[in-house]
Amino acid sequence: MMHRDDKDWNGLFSIVVDYDKESPSPENIFIGIAKLIESFKLIDKQLIGCVDSDTETETLLDDIEKGSIKLWLRNTLKQIDDKDIEDLNYKRIAGKFLVKAKAYILKKCNDVNEIQDVEIVEDIETGLSEIAKESGINQLGCYTKPPREDLLNGLNKLGEAFNEFGEKNKIIFIGDDNEKVVLNTKFRLPLATLEEFCAGDVIENPSEIILKVRKPDFIGDTQWEFLHGREPIKAKISDEEWIKSYFGGAEIITPGDSLRVKMITTSIYNNNQDLIRSRHVITKVIAVVKAERVMQEKLLN
């Protein structure tokens, strides 16, 4: 077994899981580790893409130690010819940059359980730029900030990984120069918050349309599924009076029926005017439009 002090720290980092040995769901620990590695790979992809869009990263399993679950992993680059970068020592610089950047992001996630202020996002972006300068990764002047939506998607995936570990399991990230960060497993970044931070323009369009019911909501807290022509639409019905009638049995929905509704469609765009996501909310159900039964009656007869 290779000791930590014998290791080459070029792009090397470690995940240590000090797990609860009485956990009723031990499989979640391994699911959490897998999701955590996937979130790191996503973050690495965005960070290295800010230097060179043609360069890809790999995360390799370097070693596993007994006791607490301890995985040594290594960042390395694909599609880079060592002969072309011998003078710049680019692989070593890039590996150290990715490890330091991940450690920085994880420390920022320790400050809050949920990012609710855009200034925190801006601090993370600025901090990553400073790390890029200090590491020398942008010595050719080619580092730019990662797209905010992509960066925050990585943080969203971090939160999903943390959710698997539970509160009794301690997770430690060991980075460059043996820097240790105890991870805040309470951290979450919901997709709705992500949209808010990435939005450039938010446009609301009210409309009155007829939607064919594809899948009703039988629980009361989920979205209905509809078809508008051939376009699938998911929408929540906020018309509480109609919902009470529906669950009370006064409104009957049968296969093929449609709803005539007033609906607000919110389109969210990023700063490049690319559509991020659309949301649909039905504010008023005007009527249930019954399906044409003529063909069904002919088939039955």
Distance, CA of 203 to CA of 7 (rounded, Å)? 53
Take residue 4 and report the two structure tokens written for it.
């930590």
Sheet containing 12-18, strands listed edge to edge, beginning at the edge strand earlier in sequence = 56-65, 69-78, 12-18, 170-174, 180-182
Spatial distance between the Cα atoms of 284 and 161, rounded to a whole number of angstroms: 38
- What pLDDT is attached to residue 242? 94
8 A C-beta contact, residue 77 and residue 65: no
Q: Which of 166, 180, 188, 181 is nearest to 114 (CA)?
A: 188
- Euclidean distance between CA atoms 38 and 49, whole angstroms: 16
Name the one residue in this structure whose structure tokens are 């080619």.
Answer: 142
**Residue environment code for 235-268, b if the CB has 16+ CB neighbours within 10 A, otherwise e:** bebebeebbeebeeeebeeeeeebbebebebeeb
Residue 217 has a pLDDT of: 85
Query: So what's the pLDDT on residue 1?
Result: 37
pLDDT at 273: 79
Angle in degrees, CA 196, 197, 200, rounded to 5 = 80
Q: Which tokens in the block code for residue 137?
A: 């990764």
**In whole angstroms, how far apart are CA 61 and each of 12, 72, 277?**
10, 6, 36
Task: Decide if 41 contacts 128 (C-beta within 8 A).
Answer: no
The predicted pLDDT at position 10 comes to 63
What are the 10-residue block averages of pLDDT along the chain, 301 residues in total? 47 84 80 91 83 61 68 67 52 83 93 86 90 75 75 91 86 86 92 74 91 87 89 93 92 92 89 80 95 54 50
The pLDDT score that the predictor gives to residue 268 is 81
Enter the tokens of residue 29: 């620990």
**Which pTM value belongs to this model?**
0.62
